[in-house]
């Protein structure tokens, strides 16, 4: 347990959602093991006992998330007592994010009985894991991502309505500066495994390498996202809920003729990957959740649309950011499944954005062009956002 505690404490810092030495993470072994001492442990122990959980995490977020979350919660406690983001991760994973006023065990317990995370006004975020500290890590990252997306989408709609908040604008500028500096300066040159990949072993190495790079560049948060490669009539794809930076042993070979049941543990978006391969000659697919691609997909000025509120399922408009289409679709093969909406949009294109969900890109022989397409689309969306809010 001690190794897991250290691992996920360090990952929070590496992902840029916490500053060094900020996360307080405890995990249950024969007793609760903590990564550091803190006066918050007494209250958090009560929470773990009352909820019968394996691990608990409390931390103040790093910038710009701290300023963003404080802004979103500043006047909240007199109204809804929760934040209601509308991105795909929140709809399927968090639902909403409760906010409480004090670092108090009973308030925390009440919130966490219903949700995976709670924000404590002006203090930080508490999340938990039932079986592993990884679950606490995932929920924490998801809260930061959801709040970032909501903050930027809210600013767009406020500015369109003529509502100017200079404090919010200053946070926008600071956030973009931090994000842009990271994307621009992180690694140069970018290391990638070059194809063509001709055997299963080389493909697995390429998938592992590309997955880690997507996480390193923060083009996906926590475990959301997936990656695959086609070898003849088999798709090698990351397993569902697997972390893209830890794919060794978590890649499934799935025959395209469905002759094996191994796909039961494969990514839930296997069907969409399969149909993209059927409709093209591409060999590689990357799917990430870069922030501004998600934000731009959610900005829409069709105020009288008959599908308002169901944009993620059945938006009727043909929308683009540059050359990249934005399509609706939910995970799976249902009536509004990605397997129906995404593959046609990907034909003869380098990528597509799914409303509120993220970006899918393709590669010809390896993940080089797929990764650079993912990175370029995110930079393009960030630039477009600055243009539409008239900061650029």
- What domains are defined for the chain? 2-183 (3.40.225.10), 200-388 (3.40.225.10)
Reported confidence tier of residue 188, pLDDT bands at 50, 70, 90? low
Which pair of structure tokens corresponds to residue 378?
A: 């995110």
Coil/strand/helix, residue 231: strand
Give residues with Cβ within 8 angstroms of 143, minimum separation 6: 69, 94, 97, 117, 119, 125, 127
Decide which of 337 and 384 is more confident: 384
Residues sharing a CB contact under 8 Å with residue 299, sequence separation 6 or more, in sequence order: 153, 156, 157, 385, 388
Total-model pTM: 0.93
Cα torsion for 23, 29, 31, 32, to the nearest 10°? 10
350 contacts 369 by C-beta, under 8 angstroms: yes
How much is the average pLDDT of 229-246?
A: 92
Q: Please give the average per-residue pLDDT across 233-250, as a whole number.
A: 92
Per-residue pLDDT, averaged over 178-207, amounts to 85
Cβ neighbours of 304 (radius 10 Å)? 5
The more confident residue out of 266 and 52 is: 52
Instruction: Mention every residue, 6+ apart, whose C-beta is less than 8 A from residue 303.
Output: none
pLDDT at 261 over 90: no
Q: pLDDT for 293-305, tens place per residue? A: 999 999 988 776 7
Give the CA count within 13 Å in the CB-facing half-sphere of 163. Answer: 7
- Higher confidence at residue 119 or residue 121? 119
Whole-number Cα distances in Å, 346 to 50, 171, 200, 285, 325: 49, 35, 25, 11, 8
Q: Calculate mean pLDDT across residues 125-142.
A: 95
Q: Which of 346, 365, 203, 333 shows the shortest CA–CA distance to 287?
A: 346
Indicate the helix (H) or strand (E) that contains 212. helix 200-216
């Amino acid at each position: 347990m001690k190794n897991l505690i250290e691992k996920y404490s360090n990952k929070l810092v590496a992902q840029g959602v916490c500053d060094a030495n900020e996360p307080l993470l405890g995990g249950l072994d024969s007793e609760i093991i903590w990564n550091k001492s803190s006066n918050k442990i007494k209250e958090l122990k009560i929470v773990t006992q009352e909820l019968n959980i394996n691990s608990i995490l409390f931390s103040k977020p790093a910038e710009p998330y701290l300023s963003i979350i404080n802004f979103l919660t500043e006047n909240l406690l007199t109204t809804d007592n929760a934040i209601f983001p509308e991105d795909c991760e929140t709809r399927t994973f968090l639902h909403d994010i409760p906010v409480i006023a004090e670092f108090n065990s009973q308030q925390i317990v009440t919130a966490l009985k219903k949700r995976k995370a709670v924000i404590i006004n002006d203090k930080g975020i508490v999340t938990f894991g039932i079986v592993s500290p990884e679950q606490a890590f995932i929920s924490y990252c998801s809260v930061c991502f959801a709040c970032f997306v909501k903050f930027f989408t809210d600013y767009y709609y406020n500015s369109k309505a003529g509502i100017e908040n200079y404090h919010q604008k200053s946070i926008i500028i600071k956030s973009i500066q931090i994000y842009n500096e990271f994307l621009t300066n992180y690694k140069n040159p970018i290391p990638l495994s070059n194809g063509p990949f001709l055997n299963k072993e080389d493909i697995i190495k390429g998938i592992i390498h590309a997955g880690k790079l997507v996480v390193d560049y923060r083009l996906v948060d926590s475990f959301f996202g997936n990656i695959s490669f086609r070898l003849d009539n088999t798709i090698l794809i990351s397993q569902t809920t697997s972390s893209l930076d830890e794919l060794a042993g978590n890649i499934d070979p799935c025959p395209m003729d469905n002759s094996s049941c191994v796909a039961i543990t494969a990514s839930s978006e296997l069907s969409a990957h399969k149909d993209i391969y059927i409709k093209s000659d591409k060999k590689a697919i990357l799917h990430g959740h870069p922030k501004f691609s998600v934000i731009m997909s959610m900005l829409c000025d069709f105020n009288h649309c008959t599908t308002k509120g169901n944009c993620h399922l059945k938006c009727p408009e043909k929308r683009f950011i540059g050359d990249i289409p934005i399509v609706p679709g939910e995970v799976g093969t249902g009536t509004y499944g990605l397997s129906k909406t995404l593959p046609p949009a990907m034909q003869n294109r380098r990528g597509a954005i799914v409303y509120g969900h993220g970006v899918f890109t393709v590669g010809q022989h390896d993940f080089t062009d797929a990764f650079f397409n993912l990175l370029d689309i995110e930079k393009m969306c960030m630039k477009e956002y600055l243009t539409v809010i008239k900061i650029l």
